[in-house]
Each structure stands twice: as structure tokens, then as C-alpha cells.
Amino acid sequence: MARPLTRQALAGPRDVALDALARVDQGAWANLVVPRLLAASGLAAGDRAAVTDLVYGSLRMRGALDHALRPLSRQPLERLEPAVLRGLRLGAYELLFAGTAPHAALNEVVGAVRRGGTQGQGGYVNAVLRQLSRRPPRWPDPKDDPLGWATTRGSHPAWMVEQAIERLGAEEALDLVEADNLRPQVTLRVTPGRRTRDELLVELESVGVAARPSPLSPDCVVLEHGEPGALAAVAEGRAVVQDAASALVAPALGVEPGELVLDLGAGPGGKAGHLAALGARVLAVELHPARARMVRDLAARLRLEQRLWTVTGDGTRPPLAGGRFDAALVDAPCSNLGSLRRRPEARWRHGPEELERLAALQGALLDAAVAAVRPGGHVLYSVCTWTQAETDGVVDDALRRHPELEPAPLTGLPGPLGTTAATGPAPPRDRHQFWPHRDGSDGIFLARLRKIH
């Protein structure tokens, strides 16, 4: 197990970055652990930004880093001490992708490894990184070997690339790979009834935060820089941090004010809070107590406690009577392939063998939602991925299992998504897949169903 560093022992950004990477190796998510470590670090704003880049960059480009390091290490990378491998990856990221001067990268990373481990660990890291600084890797040609490029320089597991090529073709699959490796922009969604988008832009400008309207969601703005958690608009509930495609999920359900909505698997609560802010009465079911608390905390911050209630329980067997709800949202657990910009470690945590299990869970949640909704009510299925098994496959299977269901048009999608250049307005669609490389957003899949009887 990695040795956590105390605040007193943290000497700089690399120390904090290595601590964060150790915690991610032990199962934490970077988007949760990095803010906590930064809050306790005492680092200046520039150093805090450096930590974020070092952690996310090392995780995002791990496949490329390992490809570069493997021929230079005397031992297989898999047999190295975890602290050594983390130091090598961090230093390789600085040398290959961060633009750090070689002498600075070597000195700072090796020093941090020694402070967190032993002299011997630092020596090995120093020896390998010095070789890398003199012998940068050669990458496959993306035109001649798209799979080879995507799994090395593109830093994606082979199974993900193969599935992307199957769905998109080789050329567009590489566009997706490149989009996954971009640093994500921070998007804020206004809280309906508390702020309009224009009002939020004015508020942000008044405190010196540069922002622009999102081209995808009419309720979102994109920050040019800054830490969203430090903004009064976020702390006081006038806005929430939410990807622009995710901000279209709640409107796509098409509920009216006062209608009763069931949200299965609601944590951390962004979509449940959005539904409640749009006027629905929302019962949020969340299996994990810590995530259920996050939903309650969000309801309090948004001042929606009278319209958003939380129950801790299994969404596949919700503790409530069936047929009572006007609508249901199934924002299901998934492989997270649509959010690799924000959760880069997800690409290394999931394998193709999981898809069958995930699809079974997603189907069970859909079954529970169908049972909960009254005749004439709607169910919205949402996942942040693009695999066929978890998107169209789950919906098609649900339609086969439930003759009482029929596809229903999605609501609330912005105009450009409902038009085509050749024919003008397109017919209403009951499903839509967002793509990072096409939409500049997370890869959200949406499907809307109506319960006929």
C-alpha cells in the first residue's frame, strides 16, 4: 500500500500528484481525490493547476507512457514497485506531453519519488527517465496502423478502439480517441428559477471569470479558466457543474411541473436536482449512502428540499408501490466510455467482459422503472457511454420484454440536433447519441419510452 504523505511532507506539486496517483491506484477517482488533496496542500493557484494537469495527464496518457517506458526498463513495468512505476509515468508525462524542460522534470520528479519512498526508488526512476529524455518513442503511423496508433500514442485499450472502429469507422474512431485525450472544459448549468444563462454570464463577468455560452445546451456556460467550486454562483446553488450533454438529460424526459418523477440511481444528484428545479416532484433512489447524502446536500444547496426527496435503496427493487409515477429516469451505471476526458482512469478500469454484466444491470433498472410508471407515463434511459451493448442493445431488449412500451420522441434537444443539412427539420427521434469528437461534450446516450398500458 502506498504511504500517504502528510501536509508537512508535501514539498511541491509532484509530491501532491504522486499522492493522488497512489490513491487512484487504490481505487479512488481522481475527480474526488484531487480537490481534497489540493484543499489541504497550501499550494498557490499555479501549482494547484500544475497538480491537476500532472494527475489527469498521467492517467489519460498511461498507455502512451507505458509504450515509451517499456523498452527502457530493465524489469517489466508490471513487476516494478508501484511507487517506481508512478514516478516513471509522471516523469514520462512531463517529458513527452507537458512541455517541461528535461532537467526540471528529472530533478523534480526524482526528488518527489525519493521523498515519498527510498533512495533506490529515486535512482531507478532517474536512470530510466534519463534514457527517455535521450530516446523519445516512435509512434505507429495512424493511417497505416490506426489500431496501433490508438493503443500507443492515443492511449486507449485495444478493445475500446476496436468497438469504436466498428461503430464509427477507422478515421472517425481516431477523432474520438483524440477528443478523449483533450483537457475537458468546465461547464456550468444554471439552476432554473434561480438564474438565466445571460444572468449567469453577467455574474461571472462581474467577478472576473471569463465564460461563454455553450453551443450545445441553452442552459450552460463554458468557463475559460478557474475553479468552479470557488464561485459564489456554485456555492449558493444558482449554478451547478454539469456537462452540456448531461444538462439535456432532464429536459429530454419531458415532464410537466408538479408531476411525480422517480430517479433510479440518482447520486450525486445533478439530474434529479435539474428535474426538481424544472418543477417536478422527484423521489431519488440511491444505493450507496454516501452518494445519497450528496443528493440531499445538493437539494439543500439548490433550495429544493420540498421537491426532491432521497431514499437509500436498490434501484432494481425500489421500496415503493408500482404504477404511481408520471415518469422515471434511469441514469444507469455504465462503462463510462463517454466521459474519458473527465475520468481518464476509467479506460484502465473497465474491460469488455464487464459489458454483459452492466447491460444486465441496466436492463433490471429499466424493468423497475417501467413497473413504477403509470400508463401513459414516460421512461428516459441515459448512460454516459457509446457501446452498442449498453445503448441500443439495452433499449431494444427492453422493448422486446415489455409489449406495453413504445418509443417516444425525445424532448428538449436543441434545434441543430433535430435538423439535417439535406432535408431541414428532421422527424422527432426517440434516441440520440452524443459524441465527444462531434459535440464537444460527454458521450451521453438518451432513449425515451412511453408506457402504453
| Active-site residue identified among 249, 384, 398, 405 | 384
From the CB of residue 170, how many other CB atoms can be counted at a distance below 10 Å?
15
Report d(CA 452, CA 436) in Å as an integer. Answer: 34
Report d(CA 104, CA 91) in Å as an integer. Answer: 10
Burial of 249 (0-12, 13-18, 19+ CB in 10 A): buried
Report d(CA 190, CA 219) in Å as an integer. Answer: 6
Report d(CA 389, CA 101) in Å as an integer. Answer: 45
Burial of 277 (0-12, 13-18, 19+ CB in 10 A): buried
Is 384 marked active-site? yes
Q: How far is CA 109 from CA 24, 84, 87, 95, 129, in A?
A: 18, 11, 7, 11, 10
Active site residue ranges: 384
